[in-house]
Structure 1
Amino acid sequence: MKAAVLTNYHQPLELRDVSIPDIGPLDVLIKVHACGVCGSDVHLVDEDFKEMSTLPLIPGHEIAGVIEQVGEQVNYLKKGDRVGVPWAQHTCGHCRYCVRGESILCPEQLVTGVSLNGGYAEYTKAPARDVTVIPDEISFEEAAPLFCAGLTVYTPFNYVGFKPGQTVAVMGVGGLGHLALQFAHALGAQTIAVSRGEDKLQLAKEKLGADEVIDSSTDEWVQKLQQMGGADVILSTANSSKLMGQAIHALAPNGTLVLLAVEYKEIIFPSPMDLIGGRRRVMGNPSGSIKDMRETLEVAAKHGVRPMIETHPLENAQQALEHVRDGKPRFRAVLTMN
């Protein structure tokens, strides 16, 4: 099979002929139809996940395809099923996090396309219990980004005490943010887009479900959000430590700031009283469990939540990766396999 392989950090991917993976009795073999190209793949190439990876490695953790073969002990999936593979797999199933349905926090988890070969290939394998069936309403190309970007922005709604009618502000209208706005709208939130650029703000209001928009190019965005009553939830999808630090002041009492974008700079938060006085919280979210993944796809199918994508053939994986590095896709890049 053809695969785009990372052989050395900081070096271009190589298109190679490699063996189709053998599966175990509890695995499934998936013929990949689409695989998202995520910002985390750039971090992988840049050696940020070195402690979790062994090269050579096939990247890709937003996988959508069709089951080609099932292991001999798998009786709940069959050849031809449309499925996808998310970030985490091979969780232990018995630690305190797994038994609570929070497998994404399992200390034994392995990461698709980081610890194990992923989806920049014509075939991949995964434990059957870690794949999720894709609803018929969603195409492979649209489903792929939902297995990381969609899952990442949907999951916080299950952990912040969200209720329909609350105000959700999304900082950044990009690969994560454009999906966060759609999910917030679908779940019944009063939705506010906070971003730079008139074109993105217009898109947010016309097509992504934003009820209000605020330009974040000046520090006045905090005051504008305060004048609206503040946000019950702020989903921070912008790679800006400055905006993350400012966002505390834009929270309503009992509000939660959720950090979703990866930023390696220090974040300067306000004094403790700004948190204590309003019972405000700051939390991060790594991705989501299989339970969260199923809910993400169900909500997306029911409410028409779809990523805006550009597609690239597998042969152009390196170009697609550089496109993501430069922030050019609007809003997710997806590899397609012939």
Structure 2
Amino acid sequence: MGTQEPTFTGWLGHNPASTKGNMKWETFTPKPFTDDDIEIKISHCGICGSDLHTLRSGWGKSLYPVCVGHEIVGRAVRVGKKAGERRGVKVGDRVGVGAQNGSCLKADCDDCSEGMENYCRKATGTYNSKYPDGSKSYGGYATHHRATSNFVFKIPDALSSADAAPMLCGGVTVYSPLRQNECGPGKKVGIVGVGGLGHFGVLFAKALGADRVVGISRSATKKEDVLKLGADAYIATSEDKNWSRVHSRTLDLIVCTVSSPDMPIEKYLHLLRRGGKFIQVGAPEDKLPALGAFALIGKGCSIGGSNIGSPAEIQEMLEFAAEKGIKPWIQEVPMKDANKAIVDMEAGKARYRIVLVNEEGARL
């Protein structure tokens, strides 16, 4: 007898009004299972800002119906032969999946061959995307997830599933640019936007050994939290007088997690020292603000971007977080309350990452 296909059920968004709490609990058909796949019974799934952008078609028309969620942790319940050999995963192992579920993996692809699969032009997103066979990808607000093995990660024993889940996108989105830009002793680092991504930025920058970490946000409402997370200082851009001049040329690196088209980017650049770098990771639905050329020319600073993280960086980050005891600030919410959770996320109530808990999967 062949293996019986499980029923996949999850929260499906059918239109942009889904962000108002209108997702529906329905069945869906996952990608066909192959020898290179791992099937996961989901226990936890973090809520990411990308979920909201996708549910409302903020980055372009979504492939409705969509099941979002790309911070997935659970137990492997089915492992293809090639998948087991490639990843060392067996049935029963605790594993996770981030924002990417496939890439071309071809030798002539500069990105894949150099271990930077997250930049592959033929990448498949964990949800709202298409696999090479034309089947659609569905995310983790669900009972199960089926994933290509190259993008499945073993969760270290020292990390709880609830803590590990938001690291798989939110965590690595800031960990990658911090590592790529040599955050560590001797560096002074600013984190713009102290929410789900930004709070990870503070945690990781401190754990990587930066000399000074500065949280930067509009108001002072999060100042106490940010200092508790380990930041050395805090700048409230709407309240601190002449903040860009007072703190001019004090930072080597800024990682910006803000997804706003009206952020004061030119003033952020004032904070950089000569040769400093400003790395954008937040993805607004509109264009970034304009800036004058002399904001860059005047001190030889540069602007760059970073896209999630490579598979190697994700595994490194998980092991680093386990070693250093990184503990994100999360709120656990039952999977059945996903509609309310995304409404709360949209309203800015998360402190600082909401994690959905599938109680049946969590018992495994």
Work out whether the TM-score is over 0.5: yes
Assess if the C-alpha contact under 8 Å between 1:21 and 1:123 holds in 2.
no
Q: CA RMSD in A?
A: 1.9
Q: Separation in 2 of the partners of 1:143 and 1:278?
A: 39
Could you say if the C-alpha distance between residues 57 and 239 of structure 1 is closer, same or farther in structure 2, counting changes exceeding 3 Å? closer
TM-score when normalising by structure 2: 0.86
- Detail structure 1 runs of 4+ shifted over 3 Å in the superposition: 17-22, 196-199, 264-270
Alignment of 1:148-163 (within 5 A): 148-163=169-184
| Equivalent position of 2:73 in the other structure | 64
Alignment of 1:122-271 (within 5 A): 122-189=143-210, 190-205=212-227, 207-218=228-239, 220-226=242-248, 229-240=249-260, 241-271=262-292
Task: Show CA shifts across 1:290-330 (max 9, x none).
Answer: 01101211221111222211122121111111111111111
Residue 5 in structure 1 maps to residue 12 in structure 2: yes
Assess if the C-alpha contact under 8 Å between 1:179 and 1:306 holds in 2.
no
Could you say if the C-alpha distance between residues 114 and 49 of structure 1 is closer, same or farther in structure 2, counting changes exceeding 3 Å? farther
Assess if the C-alpha contact under 8 Å between 2:71 and 2:165 holds in 1.
yes
| Equivalent position of 2:116 in the other structure | 102
- How big is the shift at 1:50? 4.2
| Equivalent position of 1:47 in the other structure | 57
Assess if the C-alpha contact under 8 Å between 2:259 and 2:285 holds in 1.
no
Assess if the C-alpha contact under 8 Å between 1:236 and 1:244 holds in 2.
no
Q: Separation in 1 of the partners of 2:68 and 2:222?
A: 30
Could you say if the C-alpha distance between residues 316 and 188 of structure 1 is closer, same or farther in structure 2, counting changes exceeding 3 Å? same
Q: Separation in 1 of the partners of 2:259 and 2:243?
A: 17
Q: Separation in 1 of the partners of 2:59 and 2:298?
A: 38
Secondary structure (helix, strand or coil) at the match of 2:263 reads helix
Residue 277 in structure 1 maps to residue 290 in structure 2: no
Could you say if the C-alpha distance between residues 277 and 60 of structure 1 is closer, same or farther in structure 2, counting changes exceeding 3 Å? same
- How big is the shift at 1:214? 1.9
TM-score when normalising by structure 1: 0.93
Task: Show CA shifts across 1:37-67 (max 9, x none).
Answer: 111111111113445x432222111101111
Report % sequence identity.
33
Could you say if the C-alpha distance between residues 312 and 21 of structure 1 is closer, same or farther in structure 2, counting changes exceeding 3 Å? farther
- How big is the shift at 1:184? 0.4
Assess if the C-alpha contact under 8 Å between 1:36 and 1:60 holds in 2.
yes
**Corresponding pairs, count:** 334
Residue 88 in structure 1 maps to residue 100 in structure 2: yes
Assess if the C-alpha contact under 8 Å between 2:68 and 2:128 holds in 1.
yes
Could you say if the C-alpha distance between residues 220 and 57 of structure 1 is closer, same or farther in structure 2, counting changes exceeding 3 Å? same
Could you say if the C-alpha distance between residues 313 and 19 of structure 1 is closer, same or farther in structure 2, counting changes exceeding 3 Å? farther
Q: Structure 1 unaligned runs (5+)?
A: none
Assess if the C-alpha contact under 8 Å between 1:49 and 1:114 holds in 2.
no
Q: Separation in 1 of the partners of 2:358 and 2:285?
A: 33
